[in-house]
Chains A and B, each alone.
Chain A
Amino acid sequence: MWLKPTTTEKIAFAFLTIAITTVVAFVFLILYYITANGIGAISIDFLTNVPLKRMTEGGIYPAIIGTLLLITGSMVVALPLGILAAIYLNEYAREGKLTWTIQMAISNLAGTPSVVFGLFGLALFVKYMGFGPSILSASLTLALLVLPIIIRASEEALATVPKGFREASLALGVTKWQTIRKVVLPIALPGIVTGAIISVGRVAGETAPILLTGAAFFLPRLPDSVSDQFMALPYHLFVLATSGTNIAKTRPIQYGTALVLLLIVLGLNLIAVAIRRHYRKKMKW
């Protein structure tokens, strides 16, 4: 018994449609569920107060600040390093063993589990270099984690700059480095910024690495220095949802925290998408 090819096609396309609908429906479900349950918990007080009564009441202010500090700390390290590395790979590197090794290292770093980065941060920064469990250790660990993302995004952005621009500048007797700085980088900037924003979202959402390198279970004050421990949104959500003192009672706070985290991360992604669309329209050659 064989079906007519056109009938088979209808059945197959129906299945494919079901698959993509399932995926999209799931995205709606998770966004809707977190938003609907979390929106009630969010208020000015929630965002600006410290957690109270063993984290069963109060706000998430220190966790928000902790996350912002982590973002700043990791970006200060990862951005310059990542962009310079991408410039080398796209503008200078020649085919060869060395370039191949670097490319392989980048894709393997990108595939290394975040908890392994956490262990590495613990061994290198916390213990060996003596930074202790701290913002410094956690930021450095996260910086290494997002480095491959920044390099890949910047490389891609640089690769879209048409060769003609470089040649035009070089033909005017401008040096290679000046050409890169004055001509290539400005054109690639939107793409680089997009990559940077996406990696900020990644830093904001990562939990396993900071769990091993300095995030505090509970610290109802702001950290004093980079060598202090800290609270952070994702770890705070994890603690409240799995090992808080009263998990059932603090559900609203959990939903609120999840929503704030989701808003930050997806908001950043949205900005990245907007930048990309804006410049893609503007730049046509």
Chain B
Amino acid sequence: MRMDGKFKEHAIETVLLSTSAVTVVILFLICIFLFGEGAALFNEISFFDFLSGKFWYPTSEPPQFGLLPLFLGTLIVTVGAICISVPLGVASAIFISEIASAKVAGMLKPFIEILAGVPSVVYGFFGLVVIIPNLQKLLNLPTGQTALAGSIMLGIMALPTIISISEDAISAVPSFIKEGSLALGATRWQTIHRVTVPAALSGISAAVMLGIGRAIGETMTVMMVTGNTAIIPGFPDGFLAPVRTMTATIALEMGEVPQGSDHYHALFVIGAMLFVITLLINLIAESIKRRYMFKVGS
């Protein structure tokens, strides 16, 4: 009887372990399928040509698969988004955790949750009907569908990630350290920007990394507002021209490619690149977070 009970408990643990191991299996399968489906492209062109190719003409004759315009498209939109969301997001996080009373902070947080809950296609739609016409009018552009429009929308969408993780990091700075500064006659602001924020810096950096990851991976919104022109963007004037990101390329073209064609494989290679980029960003964010938890703990 007793052995039976023990055996049952052991069996349950094994089943539970295997369910959580599913996540590892999925990650593994994602690698296999993305790389597997993408690898066939390199029978036709070299990996280096793909990375450094300046033209993305997948349906011309012969087709050209150059990643550069798409990669730089993603880069310019993301850089713009970060310029908007980092100052706005970190400032909001400081406000919520250090300045607002508990009551006001409690009222503000649901707004951040709403911001996180709005579907990307609704953001894209809002950008399409509100941001784009206004940008066009305001800056007197031939079209409002620009990298800038994408940056604005992605900047907003990265806010909840940046705000909530930075806020956690700032709140985690022990109050006795802040008191030490106030007791020396520092103002609240001097304490915030010389002690609290520097102490929370690694957590804030992790927040920014995850915000960048969010911006790079976003698909529908950028696809709806950036105009999707696959040419290498200039800098900084490229912000005011249409641009095409890696994610948008996959979503736009996958519906129309014959399965098994070079074009099909090329889209998987783009997906694999995205996967690797976001994986690296997550690993960096994770290691920064770990270091910072260690520091506060000691």
Contacts and interface: CB of A to CB of B under 8 A. Distances in A.
A204 B220 CA distance: 14
A13 B224 CA distance: 36
B220 A123 contact: no
B33 to A, nearest CB: 4
Interface string B140-171: 00000000000000001001000100000000
B27 A16 contact: no
Interface string B1-44: 00001001100110111011111101101100110110000000
Nearest to A204: B119
B95 A19 contact: yes
B91 A19 contact: yes
A113 B219 contact: yes
Contact of B92 (A23, A81, A102, A241): A23
Contact of B117 (A89, A116, A147, A269): A269
A33 B48 CA distance: 47
Interface residues of B, number: 88
Interface residues of A, number: 84
A140 to B, nearest CB: 11
B126 A30 contact: yes
Interface stretch (A50-58, A159-167, A254-262): A254-262
B232 interface: no
A207 B121 contact: yes
B182 interface: no
Nearest to A235: B121
B262 interface: no
Nearest to A124: B33
Contacts, number: 254
Interface stretch (A4-12, A41-49, A68-76, A220-228): A4-12
Interface string A94-123: 000000011011111111111111111011
Nearest to A16: B95
A65 B259 CA distance: 29
B79 interface: no
A246 interface: no
A27 B125 contact: no
B114 interface: yes
Contacts of A123: 33-34, 36-37, 268
Contacts of B34: 116, 119-120, 123
B115 interface: yes
B240 interface: no
A211 B251 contact: yes
Contacts of A151: 20, 23
B53 interface: no
Contact of A115 (B30, B163, B247): B247
Given A108-B282, A115-B247, A87 B121 contact: no
Contacts of B285: 111
A84 B16 contact: yes
A254 B117 contact: no
B87 interface: yes
A211 B286 CA distance: 31
Nearest to A106: B23
B75 to A, nearest CB: 15
A92 B247 contact: no
A234 B223 CA distance: 14
21 contacts: A13-B189, A19-B92, A33-B126, A81-B19, A81-B22, A92-B16, A102-B20, A111-B217, A112-B279, A113-B219, A115-B251, A116-B34, A116-B274, A118-B254, A120-B33, A123-B33, A207-B121, A212-B250, A234-B122, A261-B121, A265-B118
Given A205-B119, A212-B255, 7 more contacts: A6-B187, A85-B22, A115-B219, A124-B33, A176-B9, A234-B122, A241-B224
